[in-house]
Amino acid sequence: MSLLQITNLRTWIPTRDGIVKAVNAVDLEIEDNEKLGLIGETGCGKSILGMSITRLLQPSTKIAGEIVYKGKDLLRLNEEEMRKIRGKEIAMILQNPTTSLNPVLKVGDQIAEAIRLHQGLDKRTARKEAIEMLESVKIPLPEKRANEYPHEFSGGMKERVMIAMGLACDPSLIIADEPTKGLDITIKMQIVKLMKEVTKQRSMLFITHDLGVAAKICDNIAVMYAGELVEYAKTDEIFKKPMHPYTQGFLNSLPNMGLKPIRGLSPSLIDPPSGCRFHPRCDYAEERCKNRHPEMLIIGNGHYVRCFLYD
């Protein structure tokens, strides 16, 4: 049995303008030790999917379906039971470390508090562990840095702190949301290397819009478009044989592939297009794409695609 099995997940967020259907009928599996990349453009629902797993969204959000982690459906747990999972079993490395670290608390304390909570350690031991965590993410002078505040850290160093925080309680699954966003290329590569190292013995859901980074870290890749998965395959396969027109467009828009943008704008999640959600932007769209919603098809060797072209 896989570590995490998501079945028919729907996350709907009520807003003033209508219900944002951010995640629609998503099925995903993460095996022990697997690194799964979840890619897609900004606003496609990938971060919401990540936060649905640990139920970190506003209380008004409706999450339906099943998220089975180690045999337990997380959506059926009460708040108290869920808290014991967060940070300890499933850790999140949230995007944007500058705003995700508390500006008025010392970095060491922010790492130590999760350790104290989940491992029941006293203050001093937890602090020592926190310093070790800082050391493990290669922050120089960890003992001194533990006593500093987030504003004294550079962007890359803050990201390392976020990673240390996520790893602090030795979680089985890490959900990393755009950990390389906004970092310059050298720092980005350092963080990628670090992520690879620290997740050797763990599973990870790696959310990103950066295909290059996903290629270096992930075993498998799921492509998300307008709240749905449109393609799923091994990482090599996605790069060698992208099948969904959206995935192809996404790859072609990379700088080293010609920098060709996909035409049109990403659709509204309140009122998504009928039929195939990608049809208004798709060069291969036919009549049926407008009316009928394509199902996920299996195209051999664990490659799935949601497109009528392969029907």
Q: Where are the beta strands (DSSP E) in 31-99?
A: 35-39, 62-69, 72-73, 90-93
Query: Strands across the sheet with 203-208, in order?
Result: 90-93, 173-177, 203-208, 35-39, 220-225, 228-234, 304-305, 297-298
Judged by beta carbon, residue 113 or residue 210, the one nearer another protein is: 113
Contact string (CB under 8 A) for another protein, positions 116-135, x = contact: -xx-----------------
The pair of structure tokens assigned to 114 is 């999760």
CB of 80 to another protein, least distance (A): 8
Contact string (CB under 8 A) for another protein, positions 187-226, x = contact: ----------------------------------------
Strands 304-305 and 297-298, bridge-based pairing = antiparallel
Task: Pick one of 86, 160, 188, 306: the residue that binds another protein (CB under 8 A).
Answer: 86
Taking the C-alpha atoms of residue 261 and residue 283, their distance in angstroms, rounded to an integer, is 13
Are 80 and 72 in contact, with CB atoms under 8 Å apart? no
The pair of structure tokens assigned to 157 is 């160093």
Binding of residue 104 to another protein (CB under 8 A): yes
Judged by beta carbon, residue 54 or residue 248, the one nearer another protein is: 54
Binding of residue 85 to another protein (CB under 8 A): yes
CB of 138 to another protein, least distance (A): 21
CB of 118 to another protein, least distance (A): 6
- The alpha carbon dihedral of 283, 286, 291, 294 has a sign of negative
Site residues, another protein (CB under 8 A): 54, 56, 83-88, 91-92, 94, 96, 99-105, 113-114, 117-118, 149, 151-152, 162, 165
